[in-house]
Amino acid sequence: MDLILESALAQFHHGADHVKLPDLYRKLLTSFKTTFQAEFPVEMDDGSVHIFEGFRVIHNNARGPTKGGLRFTDRVSLDEMRALAMLMTWKCAVVNIPFGGAKGGVRVDPTSLSADELQNLTRRFTSELLPIIGPDQDIPAPDMGTNAQIMAWVMDTYSMAKGYTIPAVVTGKPVAIGGSEGRYEATGRGLLYVLEEHLASSGGLPGRTVAVQGFGNVGGVTAKLMQQAGAHVVYVSDKDTALHHPDGIDTASAWAHVEDGGSLRSWLDQHPGMAEPVAPEDVLTAEVDVLVPAAVEAVLTADNADAVRARLILEGANGPTTTDADAMLAERGVPVIPDILANAGGVTVSYFEWVQARQNMQWTEDQVNAELRRVMVGAYRNVVARCLVGAEGECTQREAALWLAIERVVRAIELRGIYP
Ligand code: NAD
């Protein structure tokens, strides 16, 4: 079993122990409703045919149709899909949106494909998924290696097969074909709203120092929005470059440059003196008020957790903190706002996109952001309140978020019963 699934299951059992979950529900929640695996051919530009392997795992749909990303990476495995599908079940339950959890992917390095090959692969895999996905069944979204264009191809392929346009089959589409205003920035904005709520009783965000690891959709947007909200973003990094400025980096300028196809390195080349290059590990060990790991999983480990000097960790990436590191940070009293709460802004606005598609409505960006704030602040308060029940505050937010999620999913199963 892959480590990622092992730790997802261990985390679940830990939470299940605390809420004294009966064996039946343990069995149900450690099983996966649908596991789909396909090997399928794609004709390449040179006329050769390559066989790709793709997966879609639906963990649990007790609370509604399932929701989860579709990733194209060369590391995709069935265990990874299972672990991430389970994480999506908990994430949707924490923010209390009526979805279950799923995840899918194709084992491919998308940067090795031409645009035509990428489109052919997407359309063929979507055809394979036709019996599983659908606006009332399972609704994919962009994830690592996929984007709004790929969602447009998924939507088009599905619609062609059904004979009419069905925008609600995917989220994260371009706004021009039924995507939602505010979806692109939603994960970063959700992180900001949760952080503002967390700091509300202790002086707020303005003037705080922040370090952000990862400068893509999550990290770049988060860094930009936090600067706009008055924080000093003193460290940022992408996979090649880490930058520091003690007074704060102009992250709006850097993000505009990266969005335009540049990198942090080329931004610095064009803006000499606006930051200094530092070692990548300096970002994770920076003495700042808030550290936002927003790149990849398992970056805070037993090897570096004791060197972390941030006063708070806000998880932008999925699974950036290993179980060992989590225990070490808890022992030292460093609070962690966990991924299933902190980065749920993306799936929340995906839900709004699905609602808009089903109602043939288009909300304004202000409407989307106001609703997002309501959901994220409500979820944060529910998690904090859950910690006070039974644990009298002696728990981490990760534990409380998981207890809340398990209880919500179990309640749905109880109410629905076991069919027949
Ligand atoms: P992305 O591909 O847009 O950006 C990833 C960034 O991380 C890039 O800047 C890359 O250079 C950088 N990076 C990669 N490895 C690094 C390393 N070792 N050190 C420093 N930087 C590194 O991806 P994204 O959409 O921003 O997703 C980032 C994480 O957030 C993933 O774990 C993803 O699952 C999670 N997430 C994304 C969303 C979303 O809406 N995009 C929602 C929830 C969670």
Q: Which of 217, 224, 260, 315 to mutate to test the pocket of ligand 1 (most atoms within 8 A of CB)?
A: 217
3-state secondary structure of 67: strand
- Kindly give the pairing relationship between strand 100-107 and strand 66-73: parallel
What are 221-278's pLDDT values in tens digits?
999 999 999 999 999 999 999 999 999 999 999 999 999 999 999 999 999 999 999 9
Q: Whose CA is nearest to atom 43 of ligand 1?
A: 343
Q: What is the mean pLDDT of residues 310-334?
A: 95
Q: What is the mean pLDDT of residues 59-65?
A: 98
Predicted TM-score (pTM) of this structure: 0.97
Q: 293 alpha carbon to ligand 1 midpoint, in Å? A: 9
Instruction: Tell how far CA 113 is from the center of its chain.
Output: 25
Quote the pLDDT of residue 110. 97
Give dist(CA 333, CA 330) in Å, integer: 5
Q: Whose CA is nearest to atom 29 of ligand 1?
A: 317
pLDDT band at 1 (very low <50, low <70, confident <90, very high): confident
- Residue 186 CA: nearest ligand 1 atom is 40
Kindly state the DSSP code that residue 132 receives in the 8-state scheme.
T
Q: What is the mean pLDDT of residues 289-308?
A: 96
Tokens 């409407």 correspond to 367
Burial class (CB in 10 A: 0-12, 13-18, 19+), 420: exposed
Quote the pLDDT of residue 3. 84
pLDDT band at 10 (very low <50, low <70, confident <90, very high): very high
Q: 70 alpha carbon to ligand 1 midpoint, in Å? A: 14
Q: Whose CA is nearest to atom 40 of ligand 1?
A: 346
CA distances from 229 to 223, 234, 235, 251, 368 (A): 10, 14, 16, 12, 18
pLDDT band at 78 (very low <50, low <70, confident <90, very high): very high
Contact 164, 135 (CB under 8 A): no
> What is the chain's mean pLDDT, rounded?
97
Task: Give the residue numbers marked as catalytic.
Answer: 103
Give dist(CA 266, CA 397) in Å, integer: 38
What are 133-190's pLDDT values in tens digits?
999 999 999 998 999 999 999 999 999 999 999 999 999 999 999 999 999 999 999 9
198 C-beta neighbours (distance < 10 Å), count:
20
Instruction: Tell how far CA 344 is from the center of its chain.
Output: 6
What single-letter amino acid sits at 63? Answer: R
Cis peptide, bond prior to residue 420, ω within 30 of zero: yes
Residues with Cβ < 8 Å from 43, sequence gap 6 or more?
49, 120
Share of the chain above pLDDT 70, in %: 100
Whether 403 shows a pLDDT value over 80: the answer reads yes
Extract the tokens encoding 178: 């039924």
Pocket of ligand 1 (CB under 6 A): 144, 187, 213-219, 237-239, 280, 294-297, 316-318, 343, 346
pLDDT band at 392 (very low <50, low <70, confident <90, very high): confident
Q: 366 alpha carbon to ligand 1 midpoint, in Å? A: 26
Quote the pLDDT of residue 416. 98
Instruction: Tell how far CA 258 is from the center of its chain.
Output: 20
Quote the pLDDT of residue 13. 97
Q: 140 alpha carbon to ligand 1 midpoint, in Å? A: 18
Q: What is the mean pLDDT of residues 44-61?
A: 98
Residues with Cβ < 8 Å from 261, sequence gap 6 or more?
none
